[in-house]
């Protein structure tokens, strides 16, 4: 394995289980995407160099939820970065992941992404929906989130995303 493109080809198997969208050519947006046909989880390899020795970022997400993986950040192609990327992709490829989406008056304002299907452990928080008003509404949104997590008010949607490795599903 000599570059990130070969890594993708060896990691995402069988490749026929994925729809590939290559927008890395000159003049395009610079994203190489793989979308799993069954789970619909999408993996974006962002801004790879021409020789695929360096990538700008990697992210994954699923249309069933507003949550996403967060950012992997830039990586040179080497053993340490391959291991780091394997760990980053493990929830989507091997274990599955879960997400809590929070809505207020039908408007999404927060997601909590968990690296397992049990909604436990550390989570990655993602905020959206209210822009700069978020700072003003913070105490109210914080309290709303806590009440939703205790099932005292409605507005929380829990989603479990299965891994793309069908031998694990």
Give pLDDT, residue 53. 97
Asked, for residue 169, whether it belongs to a domain, the answer is no
Number of domains in the chain: 2
Q: Give the distance between the most distant pair of CA atoms in the chain.
A: 53
Give the number of residues written for the chain: 169
Question: What is the residue-averaged pLDDT of the chain?
Answer: 92
Do residues 17 and 55 both lie within one domain?
Answer: yes
What gap in Å lies between CA 54 and CA 87, rounded to an integer? 18
What gap in Å lies between CA 109 and CA 101, rounded to an integer? 8
Q: Is residue 169 very low, low, confident or very high in pLDDT (cuts 50, 70, 90)?
A: very low
Asked, for residue 168, whether it belongs to a domain, the answer is no
What gap in Å lies between CA 16 and CA 5, rounded to an integer? 16
Give pLDDT, residue 122. 87
Do residues 77 and 109 both lie within one domain?
Answer: no
Average pLDDT over residues 68-75: 91
Asked, for residue 166, whether it belongs to a domain, the answer is no
Give pLDDT, residue 160. 96
List Cα–Cα distances, 129 to 21, 43, 56, 151, in angstroms.
Answer: 28, 23, 26, 22
Handedness of CA 63, 41, 125, 147 (dihedral sign): positive
pTM comes to 0.89
Do residues 28 and 72 both lie within one domain?
Answer: yes
The more confident residue out of 26 and 103 is 103
Do residues 129 and 87 both lie within one domain?
Answer: no
Do residues 153 and 131 both lie within one domain?
Answer: yes
Last residue of some domain: 95, 126, 144? 95
Q: Is residue 70 very low, low, confident or very high in pLDDT (cuts 50, 70, 90)?
A: confident
Which of 36, 39, 48, 38 lies closest to 11, judged by CA? Answer: 36
Domain with 144, as residue range(s), is: 97-161
Partners of 126 in the β-ladder: 111
Asked, for residue 167, whether it belongs to a domain, the answer is no
What gap in Å lies between CA 76 and CA 15, rounded to an integer? 23
Do residues 61 and 131 both lie within one domain?
Answer: no
Residues 112-123 have pLDDT tens digits of: 999 999 999 988
Give pLDDT, residue 167. 59
Query: Quick check: 34 and 79 in contact, CB under 8 A?
Result: no
* Res 26 pLDDT > 90: no
Do residues 83 and 103 both lie within one domain?
Answer: no
């Amino acid at each position: 394995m000599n570059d990130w493109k070969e890594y993708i080809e060896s990691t995402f198997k069988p490749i026929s289980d994925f729809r590939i969208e290559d927008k890395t050519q000159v003049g395009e947006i610079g994203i190489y995407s793989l979308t799993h046909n069954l789970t619909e989880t999408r993996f974006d390899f962002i801004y790879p160099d021409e020789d695929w020795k360096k990538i700008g970022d990697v992210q994954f997400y699923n249309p069933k939820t507003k949550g996403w993986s967060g950012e992997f950040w830039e990586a040179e192609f080497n053993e340490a970065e391959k291991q780091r990327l394997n760990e980053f992709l493990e929830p989507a490829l091997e274990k599955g992941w879960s997400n809590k989406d929070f809505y207020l008056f039908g408007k999404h304002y927060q997601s909590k992404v968990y690296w397992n299907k049990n909604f436990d452990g550390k989570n990655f928080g993602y905020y959206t929906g209210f822009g700069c008003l978020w700072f003003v509404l913070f105490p109210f949104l914080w309290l709303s989130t806590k009440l939703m997590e205790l099932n005292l008010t409605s507005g929380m949607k829990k989603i479990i995303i299965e891994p793309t490795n069908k031998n694990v599903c």
